[in-house]
């Protein structure tokens, strides 16, 4: 473990975990974003892959385009005053949703070439990704740099794709006894293929995920404290330099 990482963990473990959008601060598990596609459509590994590819092609490019266009009505601070935000929130909301719509028009032919008629199984939920809170929530309230738009977009995409694939495969196994169409066992819980069952399975997955994330965070905090306690002289020398 590097010294600056250990210091960051001991100083503010919540802030350190906040930057991890894959595991410790997954947008679905910790913030409840992007639930509709998960519970309605992620009923199989195949569907999960299609959704993951769609999100991968939409999310980061949408943020990059919105980052450029939002400079037409910029926010002066990262946390603007309520008065300034009230004036600019509506036009910025249109910028972000409009950016996602433009990117979707460019992405759909790619998805159609990759998945063909299978794409129709996603129904209206595919175009609804344009106004999915996963893409638009808070982004209209924050003046992002291009670096942050790309970095955060990629991390959120990876975290969302991970839970999509996990949930899709688990639900397919529970409902049909197979994963990606490969038979593994008998059906365990046919209800898992329905939206109601999707909520139940997602709730269980999120509970286990949160418990593991808390354990991991506690472990890292103890490791960081141990590292700083074992290397106090080294820390002092680096601070003096």
Give the pLDDT score at 51: 92
Q: Determine contact, residues 48/169, Cβ cutoff 8 Å.
A: yes
Tell me how crowded residue 2 is: count the other CB atoms within 10 A of its CB.
Answer: 8
**Residue 182: enclosing H or E segment and its boundaries?**
strand 182-183
Give the pLDDT score at 136: 60
Give the pLDDT score at 1: 61
Give the pLDDT score at 77: 61
User: Which residues does the chain have with pLDDT short of 50?
Assistant: 235-237, 239-240
Q: How is the chain split into domains, by residue range?
A: 3-240
Give the pLDDT score at 54: 92
Chain position carrying tokens 């519970």? 39
Give the pLDDT score at 239: 47
């Amino acid at each position: 473990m590097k010294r600056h990482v250990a210091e960051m963990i001991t100083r503010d473990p919540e802030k350190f975990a906040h930057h991890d959008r894959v595991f410790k601060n997954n947008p679905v598990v910790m913030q409840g974003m992007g639930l509709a596609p998960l519970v309605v459509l992620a009923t199989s590994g195949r569907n999960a892959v299609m959704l993951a590819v769609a999100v991968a092609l939409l999310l980061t490019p949408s943020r990059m385009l919105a980052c450029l266009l939002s400079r037409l009505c910029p926010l002066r601070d990262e946390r603007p005053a309520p008065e300034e935000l009230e004036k600019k929130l509506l036009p910025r909301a249109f910028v972000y949703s409009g950016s996602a719509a433009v990117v979707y028009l460019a992405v759909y032919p790619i998805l159609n070439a990759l998945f063909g008629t299978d794409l129709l199984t996603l129904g209206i939920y595919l175009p609804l990704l344009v106004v999915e809170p996963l893409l638009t929530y808070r982004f209209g309230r924050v003046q992002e740099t291009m670096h942050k738009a790309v970095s955060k977009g990629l991390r959120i995409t990876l975290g969302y794709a991970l839970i999509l694939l996990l949930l899709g495969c688990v639900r397919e196994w529970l409902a049909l006894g197979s994963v990606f169409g490969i038979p593994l066992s008998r059906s365990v819980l046919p209800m898992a293929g329905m939206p109601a069952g999707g909520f139940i399975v997602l709730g269980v997955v999120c509970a286990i995920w949160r418990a593991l994330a808390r354990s991991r965070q506690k472990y890292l905090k103890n490791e960081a404290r141990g590292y700083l306690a074992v290397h106090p002289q080294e820390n002092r020398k680096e601070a003096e330099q």
